[in-house]
């Protein structure tokens, strides 16, 4: 029997990416946003969040 890559891929974790820019760093997964902190800062008001001083 030969070994194949099937077993290796079976246990890999799916890497999460930002829905807007595709980066894997700085993700905000709370509230199922799935976007990075940079995209959140640019689009927070459009997403319905309010900015307080």
CATH code (residue 34): 4.10.830.10
pLDDT of residue 2: 53
Please name the residue ranges forming H helices in the chain: 6-10, 37-47
Domain assignment present for residue 10? The answer is: no
Return the ∠ at Cα 23 (arms to 20 and 29), rounded to 5°. 70
Number of domains in the chain: 1
Q: Does residue 36 sit in helix, strand or coil?
A: strand
Domain assignment present for residue 40? The answer is: yes
* Sign of the C-alpha dihedral computed for residues 19, 25, 26 and 29 taken in this order: positive
Identify the domain containing residue 35 by its residue range. 17-53
pLDDT in tens, 2-48: 555 555 666 677 788 999 999 999 999 888 889 999 999 999 999 89
Domain assignment present for residue 32? The answer is: yes
Its pTM surpasses 0.85: no
């Amino acid at each position: 029997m030969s070994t194949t890559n099937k077993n290796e891929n079976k246990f890999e974790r799916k890497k999460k990416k930002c829905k807007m820019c595709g980066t894997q760093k700085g993700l905000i997964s709370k509230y199922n946003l799935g976007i990075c902190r940079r995209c959140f800062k640019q689009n927070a008001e459009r997403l319905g969040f309010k900015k307080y001083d």
